[in-house]
Amino acid sequence: MTERRVRVGTEELRVDELAAKGGGQASVYTLTDRPGTVVKLYREPQGPDQERRLERMLGLTPLGGRPTNSSQPPELAWPTGVVRGLDGAFLGYAMQRFGEPDHIPLIGLFTRAQRLRWFPPRTDWKFLLGVCWNLAFMTARMHHEGLVIGDFSSNNIVVDGNGFVTLLDCDSIAFTDPGSGEHFPALMQTADYSAPERQAGGPATEHTDNFALAVLIYQLLTVGNHPFGGVPHGSSSDSTIKDNIAASCSYVVQPDKVVTPRGMIEPAILPPALLTLARQAFGPGVRSPAERPSAEDWLRALDLERGRTHTCPERPRHSYGFHLQACPWCTRAAQSGQDPFNPPPAPAPMPPPVPADPAAEPEDKSLITPGILIFWAILAAMVIAVIVAAANG
C-alpha cells in the first residue's frame, strides 16, 4: 500500500490510512508518528483565500493566555500548522487531537446511552449545567475578541470528563485579521442550529451564534430535547427542525402549535431565569436577532443557578434546579419507566450479573463450604456402609 506523506512546516510526516472523521468538505486523519496531532485535509483543492485564512490564523493567539489550570484543554482547536503536499500544494492544516475517549462530541450528552458510555458515572444535570456555563463562557470570550463561531453545533464542540469544552473546525470561524484588516467570513453552518437569517443566506454574526448557543443550552438542560422539535398540527409534509426554525415555531413558546415530541422533557425543568431567556431566544428572538440573549446574559443566569441545585436523596445522578419541590427525574421514572440518567434495570429473565466485587467471593465460599462438607460426609458414610455391608455379606 502506498504511504501518504505530507509536510507540516519543515517536517515530513506520515498520514494514517483511514480517516478518523469524515465530512462533506474534509476528512481528519491521524499521523503515524504524532499521536497527539491530527491533520484536516480538504477533499478538493482550495483556493488562495482558504490558504491565506489559515496563514493569518497561525499568526493569531485567540483567547490568548491559555488556561492556567493544566487539566483544562484549550477552548479552541486552533490550527498549529499549514499542511502541504510534498509538491508544496496546500492541503489543509494540523491541530491538536481532541478525540474519543477523552473528548466526546457534545451530542453525546443528549442521549442516555451515550452519556453512560462515554462520561463519568456521576454525570448528572448539574454537570450539564456546568457544561452550559463553559459554553457560554467560551462564546462570550470569543465575541469579546471579535470572533464569530459561525458553525456552532453539537458536533463541532467536544466535551471532556470534567465538562470542559473545545471548539473544533476553527477554520470556519469569522474573524478580521488585525494586521491587514482583511475580513474572513464564516463558511459553514449546520441546519439545526442556523438562525432564520442565516438559513436565508445572511452572514454569520454574534447574533447567529447567540441563537445556536441558546439551542445548545436548552438541549443540554433538557438532556437532548431540541427546542424546535415537534411536528406542526395537521402537517402531512416532511417536517424538519430547520423548517420549524424558519417558521419560528417552538413548543417552548407556543406548545399548542405542534405535536410535541414523544418523551419530551417539560420546558419548566429550566429554572425560571433560564426559561425566561430561552423563551426570549425562541420567541421574539427568532425573527429579531438583536432580541436574543447574549452569551453574557446566559453566563450571568447560569452562574446563579450553578450555586443552588438540589440533589435527590433517592437516586444517584439526580440533581435539579432550586425551583422544583420534588425530583423531576424520579417523577419521570415513576410515570414512564424511563430514568434519563440511570441505566435501565436488567431485564427480569436474565440471571443477576456475577458480583464484580472480589470481596464477595470468600463470603460465597464460606456459605457453600458447609454444604459441600455435609455432602461429602454423607457420601463417605454411605460408601463405608456399603463396604461394611459387602464385607459382612
The interface with other proteins within residues 48-87 (CB under 8 A) comprises: none
Please report whether residue 259 would count as binding other proteins according to CB under 8 A: yes
Instruction: State the nearest-atom distance from the C-beta of 209 to other proteins, in Å.
Output: 17
Please state, in angstroms and rounded to a whole number, the distance separating the CA atoms of residues 228 and 231.
9
Q: Is 311 in the site for other proteins (CB under 8 A)?
A: no
Residue closer to other proteins (CB basis): 36 or 234: 234
**107 lies in the site for other proteins, by CB under 8 A:** yes
Q: Which three cell numbers stand for residue 322?
A: 432550586
When the beta carbons of 21 and 300 are compared against other proteins, the nearer one is: 21
14 near other proteins, judged by CB under 8 A: no
Give the span between the Cα atoms of 154 and 210, in whole angstroms.
14
Name the residue nearer to other proteins (CB basis): 67 or 261. 261
Stretch near other proteins under the rule CB under 8 A, chosen from 63-71, 80-88, 111-119, 366-374: 111-119
d(CA 266, CA 225): 9
Between 159 and 299, name the residue whose CB sits nearer to other proteins.
159
The strand pair at 26-31 and 104-105 is best described as unpaired
**Other C-beta atoms lying within 10 Å of the C-beta of residue 200:** 9
Q: What's the min distance (Å) between Cβ of 108 and other proteins?
A: 4
Cα 363 to Cα 346: distance, rounded to the nearest angstrom:
24
Q: Long-range CB contacts (< 8 A, 24+ apart) of 117-120?
A: 119/159, 119/161, 120/161
Q: Which of residues 356-375 bind other proteins (CB under 8 A)?
A: 356-357
35 counts as binding other proteins under rule CB under 8 A: no
Q: Does 333 bind other proteins (CB under 8 A)?
A: yes
Span 143-182, contacts to other proteins by CB under 8 A: 153-155
First to last CA, the chain: 83
Cell of 259: 405535536
Specify whether the CB–CB gap between 51 and 104 falls below 8 A: no
Nearer to other proteins, 66 or 315 (CB): 315
Can you tell me the distance from the alpha carbon of 275 to that of 293, in angstroms, rounded to the nearest whole number?
12
Residues of this chain, 193-252, that bind other proteins according to CB under 8 A: 194, 224-226, 229-231, 235-236, 238-242, 244
The C-alpha atoms of residue 120 and residue 117 are separated, in whole angstroms, by: 8
Q: Is 293 in the site for other proteins (CB under 8 A)?
A: no
Residue 263 binds to other proteins (criterion: CB under 8 A):
yes
